[in-house]
Structure 1
Amino acid sequence: MLAIAQLSAKRLRLPRSWSYRLHDAQRIHSITTSRLDPTIRDFASSLAAKQPCFSLPSQSVRVLSEPADFYRSLLNIILRARKRIFLSSLYIGSSENELIDTLDLALSRNPDLHVYLTLDYNRSTRPGPSSPILSLLPLLRQYQDRIHISLFRSPKLKGVMAEMVPPRFNEGWGTWHAKIYGADDEVIISGANLNKSYFTDRQDRYFHFSAQPALTNYCFSFLRTISNFSYRLLPSNTTNGHSLEWLNRDIGPWNFQSKAESALKKLQYSNLSASLCSPELKGASGNDVLLFPVIQAGQFNIREEEQSLSLLFEHLNSQRCIESSNPSMDLTSGYFGLYKPYQDLVLNSSIGCDIIAASPKANGFYGSGGLSGLIPEGYTLLEQRFMRAARAAGRISSTGKSLNNDVRLKEWEKDGWTYHAKGIWLSPSPDTTPVLTLFGSTNLNSRSSHLDTELSFIMMTSSEALRHTLRQEVVGLRHWAVPWKGDERKVRWRTKAIVGLVGGML
């Protein structure tokens, strides 16, 4: 195992004055990672040299399984808040009156409380009477000194194209996609947005962390960093009742890519330094969870998720050769069009991989009008291509009998529900419980990798109880999974043409 100090000094070029701290960090992290399963121990050490790392007890982690549980926990977090509430989502639904009323109640009870909302500009300002932004205006007018609303607009779509592309379609060039719901020292990390379906009948994943000031401070700092490259929503006496102000006078709203890249990398570097050098970790002997935040923002040249997954497979493949281990992976995405480098990682390995994708009926665009109604069919086409590639790579058994190291694809379907869950679980073998999971906003597709701004987390644990909970999470998703039927479905020529034109935007 390479020493954390050696990796850090080589890759990060830390000042010489920190050498004694790096030595201490090596001892700290070796204690922490030594409890992990051998399957991921070396990977954890290597990742800790690249990414911020939070060490915490498994008792502070709750894995929620149902949309209703997520909604109740969200409202309770808001009502418990005393100093700050920070919510990050693609959008807040226009009819979420209870959520808005709960924010109102929390603000009225606590004069020191501030609320920070980070949302996507294009998704939140769709025109019409049901525009999501309109539901926020009464709250903004009443508490404008204590509610701070940032609207992020991707700089990818600019110039004449920005004027030509109509609303709704402009989201194809990138969105703010991070889903973070926190207050004071607790936070929920999810892939769910703040809309009724996500609270009732749209399946996702949800991780609630309590009494974790370092983690919540990180999440809050991440959102405040991106707010410097966003519009601020202000009340006004205009016809639509609001105005949008670009606050950063140093750069314009279309040319901030390099500044955003520097700011986000600085955030990660500062938290990496803190995680390596923090004396608090010295007393972390009772902690049995390591949590690594990874940012994927292709338009800002930040690809931490991509680099982390490449590192994971590198370790798994080398370990399998050396130790003859038999790791098993579960992978899911509601929009399964696996990013080509990720597809190569899966197909070029010999690790068994069970995949769950949304069935066409469980796709959020099923039954939509216009071109968006073709999206489920477009994902069927991407699934067909993946399965052909898996057969060509010898990753699907030709005997008809499934083997442990096969790639298997199933589709999730539950009457009246849609599917939005995404992530990865890794187990030392098919018969053991997961020791690692990736969760957050990423869909693991080309869009998440290149266009949207994502925040996800890699969590590793030695806790038997938490590992069992992660296993139950997988079992719960598998319960509604049936054999993939994509080979039986026909894809129309116009869908193929559209996917060929905009496939990376799906």
Structure 2
Amino acid sequence: MLASLSLMSRVAPRVVPSSPFIRSFSNLPSKHEQADHDYASRMQQLFDDNRPSLPRFVIQGQCVKPILKPSRFYGEMKEHIQQAQKSITLAALYLGHTESDLVETLSEALRSRPQLKVNLLLDSLRGTRDSGKGSSASLLYPLLKAYPKQVRVSMYHTPDLSGVLKKIMPSRFNEGIGLMHMKVYAFDDTLIMSGANMSHDYFSNRQDRYIKFQNKDITEYYCDLVNTVSSFSYSLQDKGSTFYLDMEAGVPDPVKQSIHFKNYATKSMRSFMKKWSNVQQSPKDASFDTTLYPLLQMGPLGIRQDERVTLSVLDHVLHAAKQEGTSKAFITSGYFNFERRYSNTIINSKAADVCLIAASPEANGFFNSAGISQYIPPAYTLIEKRFFDAAKAAGNAERIKIEEYNRRGWTYHAKGLWVYPPQSEHPIMTTIGSPNFGYRSLVRDLEAQLFMVTKNLGLRKNLHEELCNLRRGSTQVTEETFKAADRQVPLWVGGASEAIKTMM
């Protein structure tokens, strides 16, 4: 049981406890290491069984490095921009309108290296939203104007926001219909996969996850993915003194020709997936100990790889027959709003202990915001309370624990999954990418996630350190949590949260 492992208990707020779970792996007998490798092999087989259209890359674990701090993530971004010789690919929901320093770094790189190409992919709704201080598009326009042959700026627009709905949905709220949510940062042969956007808070005090891969093949895959989505996105164009958005010739407009656009974009993505499904790398030698499986989830285009594989992995880890001991799974999302099938699979776990980590109300980006959005954190509290009660009703109150990230002055946006084999203190599998495990991620947004299975002990230790770093800012949720005065949710929020939970 989790309680006996002291997995979730706390000796003090925001401190990860010392326990048998966190001890020196080097002291474990070799049979445990072999058992971990066997567990990893079974996980790899599970992914291989989920073919077709699932590429497999095999790399050296020493070429993978988790980044722990937002400031270090920003530092790595700037360093790689300054060093890139051939290409830079940046895909995110948006670029913060105050990120002039990052744009200037791009400008300096373009000016000093005329052969350098920069490809940026953002969401059209978020990227053109102007609160009076500018937008992603207005910030990038001078860069495009100065280096028209080197810079490409694309903005994806969901086909689900069209016609009358497009006209009546107000700005900001219309983003709930669907977004380009992928986070991909590539520099020549170096890739940083993340869930973080490009803005000041994500570079300073908004905790997310970031993993760097130094490998040509996986970087090429994600650059091709961004290029493919860019091919059916609006492109930022120079109009002399200002900018405008336009579709490439022959590409249907997602707003004016929604159905035709879906068919066109789906065909493009299916072609991309077919091309890369032929990549089935095998280890070249024993040092190639880490396997990568990139997955896509693009509900509007009928592409649901990530959903299918994630459910398969959760079912295997949480419900497979027990072996020696109990495996452990940690799942984190900035927003506690797991899709129904994910929730049910977790709540009824029979073969693994589970810890869920999410933002506390104070660490939610909408905390103390103006207008109706101030009630979003209470809505998440209500959803979390219902999950907590359901786990208890299922007899899994000890097996399933919830922790909330609550670091003063910080918000929380991390998402991912870690799997620990029985009797092991280091994970053999993790995910990194943009999905939040919610309905939106499955149905409305464009998402990219990378599953990684590794036998590399150094990488496993680093992934464990990454998780511990997140948990140092978290505290365990108990019955008393929901009795606190500041956790009382207005009755009307319950009904409203049900009505909009698919957009949260």
1:407 aligns with 2:405: no
Cα separation, partners in 2 of 1:486 and 1:334, compared to 1, 3 Å: farther
- After TM superposition, list the pairs within 5 Å mapping 1:262-281 onto structure 2: 262-275=267-280, 281=282
SS of the residue aligned with 1:353?
A: strand
Give the fraction of aligned pairs with identical amino acids, expressed as a percent.
33
Cα distance in 1 for residues equivalent to 2:134 and 2:37: 50
- The Cα shift of 1:459 comes to 0.6
Q: Which residue, 495, 498, 501 being the options, matches 1:500?
A: 498
- The Cα shift of 1:154 comes to 0.8
SS of the residue aligned with 1:274?
A: coil
- The Cα shift of 1:301 comes to 1.4
1:435 aligns with 2:438: no
- After TM superposition, list the pairs within 5 Å mapping 1:350-389 onto structure 2: 350=350, 351-389=352-390
Q: In structure 2, what is the equivalent of residue 195 of structure 1?
A: 199
Cα separation, partners in 2 of 1:318 and 1:339, compared to 1, 3 Å: closer
SS of the residue aligned with 1:320?
A: coil
1:413–1:480: 8 Å Cα contact kept in structure 2?
A: yes
Letter in 2 for 1:219: Y
Cα distance in 2 for residues equivalent to 1:451 and 1:486: 31
1:383–1:486: 8 Å Cα contact kept in structure 2?
A: no
- After TM superposition, list the pairs within 5 Å mapping 1:251-290 onto structure 2: 251-253=252-254, 254-255=258-259, 256-275=261-280, 281=282, 283-290=284-291
Cα separation, partners in 2 of 1:384 and 1:314, compared to 1, 3 Å: closer
Cα distance in 1 for residues equivalent to 2:263 and 2:339: 24
1:43–1:311: 8 Å Cα contact kept in structure 2?
A: no
Q: In structure 2, what is the equivalent of residue 30 of structure 1?
A: none
Cα distance in 2 for residues equivalent to 1:39 and 1:393: 28
- After TM superposition, list the pairs within 5 Å mapping 1:194-213 onto structure 2: 194-210=198-214, 212-213=215-216
- The Cα shift of 1:79 comes to 0.8
Q: In structure 2, what is the equivalent of residue 330 of structure 1?
A: 330
Letter in 2 for 1:230: S
- The Cα shift of 1:358 comes to 0.4
Q: Deviations over 1:189-248 (max 9, x none)?
A: 0011000000100001110111x111111001100111122000011136xx10111115
1:35–1:462: 8 Å Cα contact kept in structure 2?
A: no
Segments of structure 2 that go 5 or more residues without pairing to the other structure are 1-33
Q: In structure 1, what is the equivalent of residue 301 of structure 2?
A: 300
2:156–2:234: 8 Å Cα contact kept in structure 1?
A: yes
- The Cα shift of 1:487 comes to 4.8
1:146 aligns with 2:160: no
- The Cα shift of 1:284 comes to 4.3
- After TM superposition, list the pairs within 5 Å mapping 1:100-139 onto structure 2: 100-127=103-130, 128-139=132-143
SS of the residue aligned with 1:386?
A: helix
Cα distance in 2 for residues equivalent to 1:373 and 1:462: 44
- The Cα shift of 1:356 comes to 1.0
Cα distance in 2 for residues equivalent to 1:48 and 1:107: 41
1:39–1:319: 8 Å Cα contact kept in structure 2?
A: no
Q: In structure 2, what is the equivalent of residue 249 of structure 1?
A: 250
1:113–1:146: 8 Å Cα contact kept in structure 2?
A: yes
Cα distance in 1 for residues equivalent to 2:270 and 2:312: 19
2:91–2:184: 8 Å Cα contact kept in structure 1?
A: yes
2:426–2:463: 8 Å Cα contact kept in structure 1?
A: yes
Q: Deviations over 1:416-436 (max 9, x none)?
A: 000011111000136521000
Q: In structure 2, what is the equivalent of residue 400 of structure 1?
A: none
1:55–1:284: 8 Å Cα contact kept in structure 2?
A: no
- The Cα shift of 1:339 comes to 1.0
Cα separation, partners in 2 of 1:421 and 1:430, compared to 1, 3 Å: farther
Cα distance in 1 for residues equivalent to 2:40 and 2:472: 27
Cα separation, partners in 2 of 1:104 and 1:411, compared to 1, 3 Å: same
1:231 aligns with 2:224: no
1:231–1:247: 8 Å Cα contact kept in structure 2?
A: yes
1:218 aligns with 2:221: yes
SS of the residue aligned with 1:136?
A: helix
2:355–2:400: 8 Å Cα contact kept in structure 1?
A: yes
- The Cα shift of 1:316 comes to 3.0
Cα distance in 2 for residues equivalent to 1:158 and 1:229: 16
Cα distance in 1 for residues equivalent to 2:353 and 2:58: 29
Cα distance in 2 for residues equivalent to 1:168 and 1:430: 47
Q: In structure 1, what is the equivalent of residue 18 of structure 2?
A: none
TM-score normalised per structure 2: 0.87
Q: Deviations over 1:107-134 (max 9, x none)?
A: 0111111100000000011133322211
Q: Deviations over 1:332-385 (max 9, x none)?
A: 111111111111221222210011110000001111111111111111111011
Cα distance in 2 for residues equivalent to 1:448 and 1:197: 22
- The Cα shift of 1:90 comes to 0.5
Q: Deviations over 1:125-151 (max 9, x none)?
A: 113332221111111110011100000
Tell me which moved more, 73-82 or 304-313: 304-313
SS of the residue aligned with 1:283?
A: coil
Q: In structure 1, what is the equivalent of residue 9 of structure 2?
A: none
1:229–1:248: 8 Å Cα contact kept in structure 2?
A: no
2:232–2:251: 8 Å Cα contact kept in structure 1?
A: no
Cα distance in 1 for residues equivalent to 2:48 and 2:229: 24
Q: Deviations over 1:149-176 (max 9, x none)?
A: 0000111111011011111111010110
2:40–2:455: 8 Å Cα contact kept in structure 1?
A: no
2:324–2:422: 8 Å Cα contact kept in structure 1?
A: no
Cα separation, partners in 2 of 1:496 and 1:430, compared to 1, 3 Å: farther
- The Cα shift of 1:45 comes to 1.9
Q: Which residue, 173, 181, 185 being the options, matches 2:185?
A: 181
Cα distance in 1 for residues equivalent to 2:283 and 2:141: 47
1:424 aligns with 2:417: yes
Cα separation, partners in 2 of 1:48 and 1:180, compared to 1, 3 Å: same
Q: In structure 1, what is the equivalent of residue 25 of structure 2?
A: none
RMSD of the alignment, in Å? 1.7
SS of the residue aligned with 1:466?
A: helix
1:156 aligns with 2:154: no
Q: In structure 1, what is the equivalent of residue 27 of structure 2?
A: none
Segments of structure 1 that go 5 or more residues without pairing to the other structure are 1-33, 398-405
Q: In structure 1, what is the equivalent of residue 311 of structure 2?
A: 310
Q: Deviations over 1:4-23 (max 9, x none)?
A: xxxxxxxxxxxxxxxxxxxx
1:293–1:456: 8 Å Cα contact kept in structure 2?
A: yes
Letter in 2 for 1:274: V
2:58–2:283: 8 Å Cα contact kept in structure 1?
A: no
Cα distance in 2 for residues equivalent to 1:183 and 1:331: 29
Q: In structure 2, what is the equivalent of residue 403 of structure 1?
A: none
Letter in 1 for 2:123: D
1:57 aligns with 2:55: no
SS of the residue aligned with 2:386?
A: helix
